[in-house]
């Protein structure tokens, strides 16, 4: 099973918002801010999901593949960053 596109958007957005200070993930985040910020804008409805171009969709798909390669996992139908990395957001325990 592969990760749904809306979950890819949410995962990449959450990575940018919640994990920028994470020692293990920050190198990836700082190097790939463009597609992470784009995912955030889609997730936050600044860019509407039904209005994204084919190129933006490719950017998200490629970015998600790069993230999985960075952490060394295969796509298994993930829903959250925690599913992929085991790391919680700072807000998970509130």
The predicted-structure confidence for 46-75, as pLDDT tens digits, reads as follows 888 787 889 999 999 999 999 999 999 999
In a domain, 92, yes or no: no
18 located within any domain: yes
Evaluate if residue 31 carries a pLDDT over 70: yes
Q: 88 lies in a domain?
A: no
Mean pLDDT of 16-34: 92
Taking the C-alpha atoms of residue 7 and residue 81, their distance in angstroms, rounded to an integer, is 10
Q: Which domain holds residue 62?
A: 5-80
Distance (Å, whole) CA 12 – CA 6 = 10
Share of the chain above pLDDT 70, in %: 95
| Residue 90 belongs to a domain | no
DSSP alpha helices (H): ranges in 19-76?
26-31, 33-43, 54-71
Interacting residues of 2 by C-beta distance below 8 A, sequence separation 6+: 75, 77
Q: Is residue 13 part of a domain?
A: yes
Q: What is the mean pLDDT of the chain?
A: 91
pLDDT at 93: 61
* In-domain check, residue 48: yes
- Give the end-to-end CA distance of the chain in Å, rounded to a whole number: 31
The pLDDT score that the predictor gives to residue 1 is: 81
Counting the structural domains of the chain, the total is: 1
pLDDT of residue 48: 84
pLDDT at 49: 79
């Amino acid at each position: 099973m592969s990760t749904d596109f809306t979950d890819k958007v949410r995962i990449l957005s959450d990575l940018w918002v919640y994990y920028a200070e994470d020692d293990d993930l920050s190198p990836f985040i700082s190097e790939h801010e463009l597609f992470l910020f784009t995912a955030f804008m889609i997730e936050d409805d600044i860019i509407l999901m039904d209005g994204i171009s084919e190129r933006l969709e490719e950017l998200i798909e490629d970015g998600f593949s790069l993230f999985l390669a960075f952490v060394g996992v295969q796509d298994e139908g993930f829903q959250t960053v925690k599913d992929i990395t085991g790391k919680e957001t700072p807000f998970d325990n509130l």
